[in-house]
Amino acid sequence: MDAFFSAIEQRRHPELAGKPVVVGGDGDPTKRGVVSTASYEARKFGIHSAMPLRTAYHLCPDATFLPVDYDEYSRVSGEIKATLKEVTSLFEDVGIDEAFLDISSVDRASDEIAKEVKRRIMEAADLTCSVGIGPNKLLAKIASDLEKPDGLTIVTEKDIEARIWPLTARKLWGVGPKTEAYLKEMGVKTIGELADCLWRDWLRNLVSPMEVSPRGFKRH
């Protein structure tokens, strides 16, 4: 889903459409708390998830700050997930605003299925989503982030070198700020550089001589 929490707030408060909206804590940027979701209008000011609310207010004092309404977000999420399960029973829930669908057994073109998913979600919740299609979950996850908001991106195995390798390592699922900083210290900035590093380590271990000891194999 695209900026899920703030998108729901803009939907139920039409006067906030097209304006910077920040959802986090109890909605008071003078108190301690972090940003849960920022609208795309707010992100233009450098506001992002997990940022302290006070910092977000400093970046955009004219933004509308709202409290997290988790009950409402969960309700809308349930409606969307029910819609997705109508597309295929091979469904994996990975968060309040995200899911994987295995469409390998669906006898239709993948882009047609993606368009149907987007249409169904719009009809059910009046919200946009970005769909990524790939040969595995990791590539599908990366693809879903490449053309936000309201995107549809297909990544094939032939696209990996040209489209995936140049992306920053942060685009990898599970790589956060600390891991990204650690990789940069190693001189690794892109997914391709990380893959190359792992490949070289694998080759080094593969060809390294080994000896047999009473406790088993020992690598030099």
Low-confidence ranges of the chain (pLDDT < 70): 200-220
Contacts of 177 (CB under 8 A, 6+ apart): 170
Domains and CATH numbers, the chain: 4-68 (3.40.1170.60), 71-156 (3.30.70.270), 165-220 (no CATH)
pTM, to two decimals: 0.85
pLDDT in tens, 75-92: 999 999 999 999 999 999
The three-state secondary structure class of 16 is: helix
pLDDT in tens, 37-77: 999 999 999 999 999 999 999 999 999 999 999 999 999 99
CA dihedral 120, 123, 126, 131 (to 10 degrees): 10
Name the residue among 186, 121, 195 with its Cα closest to residue 152.
121
User: What per-residue confidence (pLDDT) applies to 177?
Assistant: 86
User: What per-residue confidence (pLDDT) applies to 173?
Assistant: 87
Query: Which active-site residues does the annotation give?
Result: 98
Do the bridges between strand 216-219 and strand 210-213 make them parallel or antiparallel, or are there none, so unpaired? antiparallel
Enter the DSSP assignment of 34.
B
d(CA 60, CA 48): 12
